Amino acid sequence: MQLDNYTLPSVIRSCRERKDLVMGRLIHDIVLKSGLSVDHFVCAALVDMYAKCGAIDDARELFDKMSNRDLVTWTVMIGACGECGNANESLVLFDRMREEGIVPDKVAMVSVVHACVKLGAMSKARLVHEFINRNKFPLDVILGTALVDMYAKCGSIDSAREIFDRMRRKNVITWSAMIAAYGYHGQGRKALDLFPMMLSSGILPNKITFVSLLYACSHRGLTEEGLRLFSLMSDDYGFEPDVKHYTCMVDLLGRAGRLNEALKLIESMKVEKDEGLWCALLGACRIHKNLDLAEMAAKSLLELQPQNPGHYVLLANIYANAGRWQDMAKTRDLMTKRKLKKIPGWTWIEVDNKIYQFSVGDRTHPRSEEIYLMLKTLSKKLELAGYVPDTNFVLHDVAEEDKLGILHTHSEKLAISFGLIATPEGTPIRITKNLRVCGDCHTFTKFVSAVTERVIIVRDANRFHHFEGGACSCGDYW
DNA sequence: GTAGGGTTAG
């Protein structure tokens, strides 16, 4: 039989679902020979298939070659850019789409909202929200949930809650998103308070709801509550814990210093252990300086994932904190031998709707002189207030003096200094980091919030930190 | 009769 514009998209969708790029390319060849390569449905399906299989360049090439792109194809491409780490491009595409006269619908807006989530850029988030309001898009449960997630991940838990409260219809995903949001903003109590509210509104939790609840407990040190929920999950709801639930529990017990119980729990597991689980245990060993257990966790971790430089850095930091310099050097050598490099840290800050990016020791910013001057003045004030730089967080083979220099110019310190000179006094400073914030920068930022009387909101790779008056919302649990 | 959308650990 002849293939047509109905059969081909279905076949292409199967390739997408199975992430079968080889088959996908084969079908693409068939499309080219079939004469259907100008069909909307076929093309959109191909772009989507390439994007979801991680072949973003192929998706883009095909997209650029299309002569008449319709709304769905634009939406697919906008979503693909956001997903593959180029959320900025998503927003650029969104503008271009409208310039070409294509009117977005609510599904397109979800992809745009999602790009803002990835960017973590509050001013963009507000603009997109205004656009949604101006064009009177009804907040259905999916677009509403996306907005809740967007505001939370851009740093405003209050705006997220406002949207949440205004949503007429909420489902389990909406509730879970809000619970998770309180969790990563360090407001564990509020996360837990939502649970009975959710139940009384007739919504049943799923396994993800429980991950979010347990996460909220571990990040606030709510140990007993977490243990109760963990039992409740299987006893009352019949959910067998998966590795994510165990990871939250290891984190919960580990942070609380109950490392032996954490280890016992791991040993009792019937599901497969993954690197995240060992990471949680290793992180707890760092906090509580348990070197023996750290080495055991690190061994399992590096067996499972020998190519992740972050694991070596974490272990090396643990050794450094314990003054075990030889072991630290060994860990670093192992990294070199395996040709691994520490992932460079980046920090972003938005000022006047523009995003500025900093790396360690960065001098590319046009106001570099002023930034470094601010950093210098600031450091003097902080030291008078009692701040002592912790050079254990520098993993370079350099003399102590140089270490200070490197630590001093970590990307988050530069971004904060820029924030201080480029925004009005008293306004909050929001920054985003691609890695976890380092211990020294965490202390530094606490002092800055006290000395400058600014609220500083930091989104790192894991969670949010709200610094105010010399303290952090994470309660130093991070 | 065909395509695009939201939540989760470390």
Q: Which nucleotide is nearest to A150 (CA to C1')?
A: B6
Q: What is the mean pLDDT of residues A438-450?
A: 94
Cα distances (angstroms) measured from residue A2 to each of A5, A10, A13, A29: 10, 14, 19, 15
Distance A429 CA to B7 C1' (A): 27
Between strands A354-359 and A464-468, the pairing is: unpaired
Distance A324 CA to B10 C1' (A): 24
What does the pLDDT read at residue A395? 57
Distance A325 CA to B10 C1' (A): 25
A110 touches strand B (CB under 7 A): yes
Q: Residue A1's pLDDT band (boundaries 50, 70, 90)?
A: confident
Which residues in chain A, range 424-443, keep a C-beta under 7 Å from any nucleic strand B atom? none
Instruction: Give the pair of three-digit tokens for residue A144.
Output: 């509403």
Does pLDDT of A404 surpass 90? no
What does the pLDDT read at residue A322? 84
Which one-letter DSSP state was computed for residue A53? T
What length does chain A have? 478
Which one-letter DSSP state was computed for residue A467? E
> Could you read off the pLDDT of A166-221 as tens digits, one per residue?
999 999 999 999 999 999 999 999 999 999 999 999 999 999 999 999 999 999 99
Q: What is the mean pLDDT of residues A12-39?
A: 93
Q: What is the dihedral angle through the alpha carbons of A363, A369, A375, A379, rounded to the nearest 10 degrees?
A: 120
Q: Within a 10 A sphere around the Cβ of A305, how many other Cβ atoms? A: 15
Q: Which nucleotide is nearest to A74 (CA to C1')?
A: B4
Distance A474 CA to B10 C1' (A): 16
Q: What is the mean pLDDT of residues A362-367?
A: 94
Does pLDDT of A420 surpass 80? yes
Q: Residue A317's pLDDT band (boundaries 50, 70, 90)?
A: confident
φ/ψ of residue A367, rounded to 5: -105, 30
Residues A81, A52 contacting (CB under 8 angstroms): no
Does pLDDT of A401 surpass 80? no
Q: Residue A152's pLDDT band (boundaries 50, 70, 90)?
A: very high
What does the pLDDT read at residue A323? 84
φ/ψ of residue A349, rounded to 5: -140, 145
Does pLDDT of A54 surpass 70? yes
A44 touches strand B (CB under 7 A): yes
* Domain annotation covers residue A390: yes
Which residues in chain A, range 219-248, keep a C-beta under 7 Å from any nucleic strand B atom? 219, 243-244, 247-248
Q: What is the mean pLDDT of residues A102-130?
A: 94
Which residues in chain A, range 47-76, keep a C-beta under 7 Å from any nucleic strand B atom? 48, 70-73, 75-76
Lowest mean pLDDT among A32-36, A88-92, A163-167, A376-380: A32-36
Q: Which nucleotide is nearest to A104 (CA to C1')?
A: B4
Specify the pTM.
0.92
Q: What angle do CA A190, A191, A194 make, to 5 degrees?
A: 85
Does pLDDT of A374 surpass 60? yes
> A16 in helix, strand or coil?
helix
Q: Residue A143's pLDDT band (boundaries 50, 70, 90)?
A: very high
> Could you read off the pLDDT of A256-288 as tens digits, one per residue?
999 999 999 999 999 999 999 999 999 999 889
Number of domains comprising chain A? 1
Burial group, residue A197, by CB count within 10 angstroms (0-12, 13-18, 19+): exposed
Lowest mean pLDDT among A308-317, A378-387, A401-410: A401-410
* Domain annotation covers residue A269: no
A7 touches strand B (CB under 7 A): yes
Does pLDDT of A400 surpass 70? no
* Domain annotation covers residue A334: no
Distance A10 CA to B2 C1' (A): 7
Q: What is the mean pLDDT of residues A146-168?
A: 96
What does the pLDDT read at residue A53? 93
* Domain annotation covers residue A61: no
Q: What percent of chain A has pLDDT over 90?
A: 81
Which protein residue lies nearest to nucleotide B2, measured between its Cα and the C1' atom? A6
Contacts of A137 (CB under 8 A, 6+ apart): A105, A106, A109, A143
Q: Residue A85's pLDDT band (boundaries 50, 70, 90)?
A: confident
Does pLDDT of A477 surpass 80? no
What does the pLDDT read at residue A402? 65
| Mean pLDDT (chain A, rounded) | 93
Q: Which nucleotides of B are covered by protein (CB under 7 A)?
A: 1-10
- Whole-angstrom Cα distance, residue A324 to residue A225? 36
* Domain annotation covers residue A11: no
Q: What is the mean pLDDT of residues A301-316?
A: 91
Q: Residue A342's pLDDT band (boundaries 50, 70, 90)?
A: confident
* Domain annotation covers residue A389: yes
Distance A262 CA to B9 C1' (A): 15
User: Which stretches within A138-290 are classed as H helix?
Assistant: 141-153, 157-166, 172-184, 188-200, 207-218, 223-237, 243-255, 259-268, 275-288
* Domain annotation covers residue A411: yes
Range of the domain at A388: 346-472
Phi-psi region of A131 (alpha: psi -120 to 50; beta: other; left: phi over 0): alpha
Burial group, residue A296, by CB count within 10 angstroms (0-12, 13-18, 19+): middle
What does the pLDDT read at residue A11? 93
What does the pLDDT read at residue A394? 59
* Domain annotation covers residue A468: yes
A218 touches strand B (CB under 7 A): yes
